[in-house]
Amino acid sequence: MRAEIIAIGSELLSPWRLDTNSLFITEHLNRIGVRVWRKTIVGDRFEDLEAVFSSALQEAEIVFCIGGLGPTKDDITREVVAAVLDRKLEMNQQALRHLEKRYARIGVPMTPNNLQQAMVPEGGEVMPNPNGTAPGLFLRQDGRLVFLLPGPPHELKAMVVDQVLDLIARHHVPAPLIYRHLKIASEGESRVDHLVSPIYKSYDQVETTILASAGIVDLFFYWTQPADVDRSGPVLEELTRRVKEALGPSVYTEGEHTLEEVTGGLLREKGKTLATAESCTGGFLGKLLTDVSGSSDYYLGGMVTYSNEAKSAWLGVDVRLIEEHGAVSPEVARAMAERVRIVAGSDIGLSTTGIAGPTGATAEKPLGLVYIGIADQAGSETRKLQLPGDREIVRLRSARIAIDWLRRRLL
Amino acid sequence: MRAEIIAIGSELLSPWRLDTNSLFITEHLNRIGVRVWRKTIVGDRFEDLEAVFSSALQEAEIVFCIGGLGPTKDDITREVVAAVLDRKLEMNQQALRHLEKRYARIGVPMTPNNLQQAMVPEGGEVMPNPNGTAPGLFLRQDGRLVFLLPGPPHELKAMVVDQVLDLIARHHVPAPLIYRHLKIASEGESRVDHLVSPIYKSYDQVETTILASAGIVDLFFYWTQPADVDRSGPVLEELTRRVKEALGPSVYTEGEHTLEEVTGGLLREKGKTLATAESCTGGFLGKLLTDVSGSSDYYLGGMVTYSNEAKSAWLGVDVRLIEEHGAVSPEVARAMAERVRIVAGSDIGLSTTGIAGPTGATAEKPLGLVYIGIADQAGSETRKLQLPGDREIVRLRSARIAIDWLRRRLL
């Protein structure tokens, strides 16, 4: 079964906005075996949406139209869908009552424009929107399913999870997508492929996808034989076992956890506490670690010692060390990790110092040169990184590699 | 003139990847007066791309096909375009030499597959790719312009800036988009619209767009009368002056600078230094401030006092204050700002403490409750925020509102 997602709104054709709703919808569709074959982003013109929706109806079994359900004259989704399906728009009493209640609750008077949101193409089923005024709509045409959903992500997400999936299940026997997902840190995409392609190439029944992004590589193994589901378990099991053997500790999870969650879990499990001392990452390392709810169990805090004075005054890094080797040096990275561990009274200290760019590089210390340091009761160590990318990417990679290094030491 | 952008690749139809290249292309097209009317994302199947490309050729004057130019059997863009335009694919000598040089330089042997990248539809013009193996292609058909570009962003961006815009200019007189862009912090979208719609509604020649994202509102005023360009300057001038009067200091820039850049510029201009003390934001505030290259001129550093012990031991916040009022309280926010200013020896101290969720809320201290504090030579102040959204959004908004508060005090 194939689905098409149409995102509607001129702002989505500007340089400032992306359609992200489709990722959420795709994730949930994939889980019940529905693949998205095409996504289209189109503006608020009647003829433009008409052409796109007509084509989608011919090609896909399930069509999503996202956005354009509000009360303004730019909101044309209902009219276009009614016109293409050749159905009349009718005032729907259930939708009208929902609207009246909603406007009363937020204390805003209803204008005649607002009534537009209660208009439904003949035969359409209203999908209540608990988080907004515009209801969703569900229609069937020649065996095809059409969903009209509001654009605000928190409205859409609730309706997908609570209503859309059930409505699809009424008309379609789900064939869940069977796959394994391995996440790999601190390895490049081509090196991962070099190591694992000799393995996955011998599994005809499995399709492999490799995606890389700023120091994280995602490996997906999809089962391609829906008629032979019973064999999927053992085959995928064997394949992932062999791939994990080839990649060793670079694989940090077989599932949907983040690197920060996995590393935090190890800290909690081993009863260790962590403190950070950051220079070039400027707080990014702490931000990533505290993206995890509950990280206060193991993360005591950190010092963003952006200036040399802060490095010496707050952390107690020897001024002469900075003068002799420079702030971007293995000596200072090591001292930062050692000192923050002592100052914070933590089990482990983690540090970063580098040239994130675009300014600040010299002949000896080029852009993307970063030292990371780690200190624990066994001693301290540093690593030199030479990272590609712009300021944001260099900082993100530095922080991720530092976190992954900590993870490997905890194993 | 309308353009269509087709992004090609099955990974772009997964829940994990978005097409972001189109934003960059759109920005540059808009500057020369070309609007994007539709974006389509399609997989690696011949018939799927064929249908999409044929439709684009009928609707748009400029068509971009992004991706699918590599050496594997999934890379079908060249063949599909040649088939739809009814042209033969020929080996191009210029492209072949580029390929040979490139593979020699990276020390990888060329396989017969790689030759595919030098095949060009009859009459096509090769666009050299300085950052990768796959060259781009430029074709004309019935007055329409077709660009085939590689998918990796750093390859594509260089080719758009250095080649695509010149090729368009050869065949099309640019009609630059005339607009003004105001950026507004710490105000909601509906309040901004309420304040400014009475003003912009009286300007028929101007189209207004309002976009909001986690505490920042973008206001765009587009000139809609290309035949009457001479009047655009004075009219947009008057409109933005009136809007800025209505919004006051909430407008932080008329241009493309970020809130952090504008605030950093004010600190530098006034010769003031800043230090931060973060609890709930966990380093996010420091990360945003140091997103700006050169921020070491005014940002001394910060303390991420995630635990209560760090708040008292590092910053010297009175333990009794935390016991009496809790870590999430105006008293502690104030003490954090005052203490970090003293410890760092900075002119200004800025602090955050709050409940970012999803856990940690109580009846008295709900999710999204955040206190921010500021201290300078004139004294200290706190603000209470009650923020909607998930953990990431609450933390981002907290940090942005704190930075904007600092900016307003510096005015």
Angle between helices A46-59 and A77-84 (to 10 degrees): 50
Determine what percent of chain B is predicted with pLDDT higher than 70.
100
pLDDT of residue B33: 86
Residues of A in contact with B20 (CB under 8 A): 18
CB-based contact (8 Å) between A9 and chain B? no
Closest Cα to residue B65, out of B136, B10, B116? B136
Confidence of residue A134 (pLDDT cuts 50, 70, 90): confident
With 0.90 as the threshold, say if the pTM is over it. no
Do residues B149 and B242 both lie within one domain?
no
Q: Which of residues 178-237 of B touch A (CB under 8 A)?
A: 209, 211, 218
* Residue B241 pLDDT > 80: yes
Do residues A294 and A146 both lie within one domain?
no
Q: Which of residues 88-127 of B touch A (CB under 8 A)?
A: none
Q: How far is A27 from chain B (nearest CA, A)?
A: 5
pLDDT of residue A214: 83
pLDDT of residue B323: 97
DSSP states of B166-191: HHHHHHS---PPPEEEEEEES--HHH
Indicate which CATH number applies to the domain containing B196: 3.30.70.2860
Task: Give the residue-averaged pLDDT of B2-12.
Answer: 95
Do residues B404 and B327 both lie within one domain?
yes
Q: Which residue of A has its CA nearest to B24?
A: A15
Do residues B266 and B296 both lie within one domain?
yes
Do residues A246 and A270 both lie within one domain?
no
CB-based contact (8 Å) between A26 and chain B? yes
Q: Which site among A5, A72, A290, A340 would you substitute to test the B interface, given the most B Cβ atoms closer than 10 Å to its Cβ?
A: A290
The verdict on a CB contact (< 8 Å) between A287 and B290 is no
pLDDT of residue A74: 83
* Residue A82 pLDDT > 90: yes
Q: Which residues pair with residue A299 across a beta bridge?
A: A274
Do residues A63 and A116 both lie within one domain?
yes
* Residue A107 pLDDT > 80: no
pLDDT of residue A120: 95
The verdict on a CB contact (< 8 Å) between A283 and B302 is yes
Q: Which tokens go with A99?
A: 């609207």
Q: How far is B334 from chain A (nearest CA, A)?
A: 19
| A110, A103 Cβ separation under 8 angstroms | yes
* Residue A108 pLDDT > 80: no
Separation between Cα atoms, residue B124 and residue B146, nearest integer Å: 9
Alpha-carbon separation of residue B228 from A253, B30, B172, B202, B233 (angstroms): 60, 18, 20, 18, 10
Residues of B in contact with A294 (CB under 8 A): 359
CA atoms within 13 A on the CB side of B202: 9
Q: How far is A356 from chain B (nearest CA, A)?
A: 8
Residues of A in contact with B300 (CB under 8 A): 306-307, 309-310
pLDDT of residue A368: 94
CB-based contact (8 Å) between A276 and chain B? yes
Q: Which tokens go with B25?
A: 């292309």
pLDDT of residue B93: 93
Do residues A31 and A155 both lie within one domain?
yes
Across the interface, of A30, A55, A395, the residue whose CB is closest to B15 is: A30
Task: Give the residue-averaged pLDDT of B94-114.
Answer: 83
| B24, B157 Cβ separation under 8 angstroms | yes
Tokens 């209803």 correspond to A110
Q: Which tokens go with A373?
A: 């340091």
Question: pLDDT per residue over B312-324, tens digit each?
Answer: 999 999 999 999 9
Confidence of residue A162 (pLDDT cuts 50, 70, 90): very high
Q: What share of chain A is helix, strand, coil (3-state, %, to 5)?
A: 45, 25, 30
Question: pLDDT per residue over B194-227, tens digit each?
Answer: 899 999 999 999 988 888 888 899 999 999 898 8
Higher pLDDT, A41 or A15: A41
pLDDT of residue A394: 94
pLDDT of residue A343: 95
Indicate which CATH number applies to the domain containing B352: 3.90.950.20
Confidence of residue A21 (pLDDT cuts 50, 70, 90): very high
Tell me what ipTM this predicted complex has. 0.86
* Residue B385 pLDDT > 80: yes
* Residue B174 pLDDT > 80: no
| Mean pLDDT computed over every residue of chain A | 93
Chain centre to alpha carbon of residue B117: 32
pLDDT of residue B209: 84
Indicate which CATH number applies to the domain containing A151: 3.40.980.10
How many contacts (CB atoms, under 8 Å) link A and B? 220
Do residues B339 and B226 both lie within one domain?
no
* Residue A209 pLDDT > 80: yes
pLDDT of residue A338: 98
Spatial CB neighbours of A339, under 8 Å, sequence gap ≥ 6: A277, A315, A316, A317, A349
3-state secondary structure of B160: helix
Higher pLDDT, A117 or A349: A349
Spatial CB neighbours of A247, under 8 Å, sequence gap ≥ 6: A182, A184, A187, A192, A195, A196
pLDDT of residue B210: 85
The verdict on a CB contact (< 8 Å) between B37 and A16 is no
Residues of A in contact with B36 (CB under 8 A): 13
Angle between helices B77-84 and B46-59 (to 10 degrees): 50
Count of CB atoms situated within 10 Å of the CB of A207: 14
Do residues B338 and B283 both lie within one domain?
yes
pLDDT of residue B313: 94
Of A220, A253, A286, the domain-final residue: A253
Question: pLDDT per residue over A42-53, tens digit each?
Answer: 999 999 999 999
The verdict on a CB contact (< 8 Å) between B283 and A290 is yes
Q: Which residue of A has its CA nearest to B43?
A: A37
Higher pLDDT, B176 or B141: B141
Of A153, A171, A189, the domain-final residue: A171
The verdict on a CB contact (< 8 Å) between A290 and B300 is no
One-letter amino acid for residue B311 of the chain: K
Using the 8-state DSSP alphabet, how is residue B231 labeled?
G
Do residues A133 and A207 both lie within one domain?
no
- Give residue B150's domain range: 2-171
Across the interface, of B11, B291, B306, the residue whose CB is closest to A299 is: B306
Do residues A314 and A249 both lie within one domain?
no
Of A171, A190, A212, the domain-final residue: A171
The tally of domains found in chain B comes to 3
Question: pLDDT per residue over B332-382, tens digit each?
Answer: 999 999 999 999 999 999 999 999 999 889 999 999 999 999 999 999 999
Task: Give the residue-averaged pLDDT of B251-263.
Answer: 95
Across the interface, of A48, A345, A391, the residue whose CB is closest to B293 is: A391
Q: How far is B146 from chain A (nearest CA, A)?
A: 19
Sign of CA dihedral B62, B63, B64, B69: negative
Closest Cα to residue B402, out of A66, B387, B390, B347? B387
Do residues B301 and B360 both lie within one domain?
yes
Confidence of residue A101 (pLDDT cuts 50, 70, 90): confident
* Residue A255 pLDDT > 90: no
3-state secondary structure A2-50: EEEEEEECHHHHCCCCCCCHHHHHHHHHHHCCCEEEEEEEECCCHHHHH
CB-based contact (8 Å) between B293 and chain A? yes
The verdict on a CB contact (< 8 Å) between B59 and A51 is yes
pLDDT of residue A114: 82
Across the interface, of A11, A38, A40, the residue whose CB is closest to B48 is: A38
Q: How far is B369 from chain A (nearest CA, A)?
A: 16
Higher pLDDT, A296 or B226: A296
pLDDT of residue B342: 97
Confidence of residue A270 (pLDDT cuts 50, 70, 90): very high
Q: How far is A308 from chain B (nearest CA, A)?
A: 9
